[in-house]
Structure 1
Amino acid sequence: MGFFKTLLRRKATVPAKASACVSVDASRSASGNAGAVSLKDIAASVTVLETVPAVPVSLVNGGKLGADETSVFKGWVSDPATFHLYDLRDVVLDRSLMVFLKDGKPVLETAYVQDPAAVAALEVRPQDLITVPDDTSPAAICCDHWDSNYYHWLSHTLPTLHALRITKHQNARLMLPPHMRAWQADTLALSGFDVTQGLPLENGKQYAFSRVLYADYVRGAGDFSVSPLSRAAYESLAATQPSTGPRDLRIFIERGPASNRRIPNEAELTAALQARGFLCVRAENFSAAEQIQLFKRARLVVGQLGSGMANCVWCQPGTVMFELVAEHHQNPCNLLMGMQAGLLYWGKLMPTGQQTDDHIAQSEKPLDIASVLRELDQIEPYLPPV
């Protein structure tokens, strides 16, 4: 099924190299281009933030239930990696691609899931160039080009903010999305940053910096590594919200109106889970604080690949995460978010009728709801106590 199945076969059989899969293409391009420049080459200084080992996934009952059920991602191992904060000088940022240029050359390591042809064609455009004035506090990049996506904000921005805090750059001027969502402003405030001191970056423009801070988390280098720094970032935000009740919730995250990866009979699944006492939610209807409060109370979280599942980082350790995994897009990004929080994982493969790896395509087959309920029954003994 394309890239992710290749990745999973590799992880199940051999130790992973120290790179996140979303950064592999850019890293290989850089190594194969004699004229390429690296972040370390152009940084005035480099701070090592953390070095993390490979970690095997923690699955419900070791990944086996009954006689026939086996969890998706059984045998999966996270990537070992070292993460850095770079102090860059005299660089240009292309806002649309969120790729840096140094002396007119793209810094390929910063090309997070970008078309290689578009990156290769990138050059400084004087008519679109805006010079960011110097200040007593350095500028800092805190988000990728998918800055309106909740998962990307949680996985890339929040660890970057924590890295800035622990390196004593709490007063850094954040380079922000042009149109801040309420949950973005909320999480910035909860992280201790003043959104009014940031600079919104406009798509189509380029920005010249005499100095700017950039962390590896922004470029997705930690997407498939278990990072204690990321976990500390989530725990610090979760600690800002008081408990609103006991740890007694079974939560189902609906896709609702989202067109990507929709299953045709989700409404039937919602009804079946509600009949079993599940709280069925659409996470986008809650504020950032409400999402944190809600998921801190979870014993079990069920859902498909999607930004709502990123809320598992607010769950308490030992919570069970039950993911419905489309056969045409077996992406372990939610699994990794659960590993950051110390959760137990169960992945149920959903036959979809799609034959090619595609993170957008809808399922052509209805979900076997009876089998979902049967596996939920088997998982029940592994839930943490109320």
Structure 2
Amino acid sequence: MTGLSETAAKRRKQLLRFISRDLLGPIAGKMPKSCVESLEKASFHADINRHILDIVPMTQARIVRHEVAAKLPPFIRTEAVFGKRNLYLLRNATVSPHSGMAWIGNRVLEESVGSLRRIMDWGDVQHEPLLPASELRIPEPVVVCHPASYYHWLLEVLPNVLFAVAAFPGVKIVLPENCPRYVLEGLATALGPGAKRDFVFCSNPIRVERLVVPQYHAQPEFTDPQVLELLRSAVKTRVAPLQGTDGAPGSATRIYVSRGKSRRRLRGEAELEERLREVGFSILHCEELSFADQVRAFHTAEIVVGSHGAGLSNLVWCEPPCRVVEIFPKNYILDCFAWLGFSLGFDYRHVICDTGHEIDERAMDAVLDAVR
């Protein structure tokens, strides 16, 4: 007779079910038992409190309302609530250089990624606490700068690293091996070329004696104005002055942020680019520019046109008065760049394509009308 007995098979099945529920939560949709929603709220637990060395406020809670003269549809929002966010200095914690996910023991810290719901959209992601971790034996505190997509890296990860550097001088910055160019260039721009001596490259999760964990938003659709102020004062001024000597930005430019080299390019974009060239626009492929060159290009822009995409994250470097014209495919509208425009005092306008992922003749005319 081969294989397990019926009793042993039942016990194995029960054990696997228990492990699955404990790690991933029951089918009903509860969060895993091994998850800590808020370190601040859970700090009264002795087994959690012993890991907390310090809690440093990063941004304050606030309600932000923008007064916009134009009549906007309801899906373009002008009001948001931002909760207080902290930096946590933890003892004996483990962190992934790829996602920034941190855990103590086997308990995942939701705030290190915003929420478990966010990472459910990341695709084929391994359950990182099950991966082997190595010891990183250094006396300095450590913060992870993980390579999120450009929008989330620029408006979430980079500001959190800057907050950590300001709060904990000498902090080491952990990066994954084979880091995207924009991450390395962005850090060098923000912190200076000498920052490279504080970089630590890792391929697997690491256990550290002191870990700085920035608290991420559960729903990062909108950027806190406090974060925008930090990026403009701490990063932009290293590349381009906020104002020229005459009190205004340098020679104004008109730029179209092209998605011509993206697989999600809208059909008809090449024709729109040609028509915009005729009225004085330069066509910008952000993926071909260095981080600093992107800052400079958007700093002098008087009009920015582009379809919804990561390139418009660089609106953070523009100066008012600036007009923004965003093009949406018919079935995908997200107002994160509208919020950026309102926060920075820009003249924001949008055009929605009538035919799915194609810039048709009506949409082209609407774009040209908006820039004239």
Q: TM-score normalised to the size of structure 1?
A: 0.73
* 1:104 alignment partner in structure 2: 106
Tell me how far apart the structure 2 counterparts of residues 352 and 220 of structure 1 sit (CA, whole Å): 33
Partner of 1:237: 235
CA gap 1:294/1:220 in 2 versus in 1, 3 angstroms: farther
Q: Which runs of 5+ in 2 are unaligned?
A: 1-24
Q: Is the 8 A contact 2:326 2:351 kept in 1?
A: yes
1:336–1:258 Cα change, 3 Å = same
SS of equivalent residue, structure 1 residue 338: helix
Task: Indicate yes or no: 2:166 matched with 1:166.
Answer: yes
Q: Determine helix, strand or coil for the equivalent of 2:79.
A: coil
CA distance in 2, matches of 1:191, 1:214: 20
1:307 and 1:298 map into 2 onto residues whose CA distance is 17
1:250 and 2:254 correspond? yes
Contact 1:111 1:119 in 2 (8 A): no
**Quick one: distance in 1 between partners of 2:29 and 2:237?**
40
Instruction: List aligned pairs for 1:160-199, cutoff 5 A.
Output: 160-167=160-167, 169-192=168-191, 194-199=195-200
CA distance in 2, matches of 1:34, 1:76: 37
Tell me, in whole angstroms, the C-alpha distance in 2 between the residues paired with 1:104 and 1:208.
12
CA distance in 1, matches of 2:231, 2:86: 16
1:37-48 pair list within 5 angstroms: 37=36, 38-40=38-40, 41=43, 42=48, 43-48=52-57
Alignment-derived partner of residue 54 in structure 1: 63
Aligned partners of 2:342, 2:218: CA distance in 1, in Å? 16
Offset from partner CA, 1:288-336 (integer Å, 9 cap, x none): 1211111111111111222211110100133122111223222223233
TM-score by length of 2: 0.76
Structure 1 residue ranges without an equivalent (≥5):
1-25, 64-69, 354-362, 381-386
SS in 2 for 1:328: coil
Which of 338, 345, 348 aligns to 1:342? It is 345
Q: Counterpart of 2:70 in 1: which secondary structure?
A: helix
Q: Which has the larger radius of gyration?
A: 2
What's the counterpart of residue 82 of structure 1? 84
Aligned in 2, Cα 1:120/1:107: closer, same or farther, shift over 3 Å? farther
Pairwise mapping of residues 213-228 of structure 1 onto structure 2 (< 5 A)?
213-217=212-216, 222-228=220-226
Q: Cα offset for 1:351?
A: 3.3
1:283 to 278, 286, 290: 286
Taking a change above 3 Å as real, the CA distance of residues 254 and 94 of structure 1, as seen in their structure-2 partners, is: same
- Tell me how far apart the structure 2 counterparts of residues 227 and 49 of structure 1 sit (CA, whole Å): 13
On the 8 A contact 1:295/1:312 being kept in 2, the answer is yes
| Count of residues in Structure 1 that have an aligned counterpart in Structure 2 | 324
Identity of aligned residues (%): 20
Amino acid in structure 2 at the alignment position of 1:238: K
The CA distance in 1 between the partners of 2:198 and 2:348, in whole Å, is: 40
Give yes or no for the alignment of 1:201 onto 2:210. Answer: no
* CA distances 1:143-187 after superposition (whole Å, capped 9, x unpaired): 3xxx163222211232113312432x2421001131234433332
Pick the aligned partner of 2:325 from 297, 302, 322: 322
Partner amino acid, structure 2, of 1:39: L
Please, which of 352, 361, 367 is the counterpart of residue 359 of structure 2?
A: 367
Conserved? CA contact 2:286–2:294, under 8 Å: yes
Q: 2:313 aligns with which of 310, 313, 323?
A: 310
Q: Is the contact made by 1:71 and 1:348 (CA closer than 8 Å) also made in structure 2?
A: no
Contact 1:158 1:234 in 2 (8 A): no
Q: Does the residue aligned with 2:81 lie in a helix, a strand or coil?
A: coil
Retained in 1: the 8 A contact 2:330–2:352?
yes
The secondary structure found in structure 2 opposite 1:240 is helix
Aligned residue number for residue 14 of structure 2: none
Give the aligned residue type for 1:149. S
Q: Give 3-state SS (helix, strand or coil) of 2:191's partner.
A: coil
* Contact 1:47 1:85 (8 Å CA) reproduced: yes
* Distance in 2, Cα, partners of 1:285 & 1:156: 22
1:120 is displaced (CA, Å) by 10
Residue 289 of structure 1 aligns with an amino acid whose one-letter code is A
Deviation at 1:96, TM superposition (A): 4.7
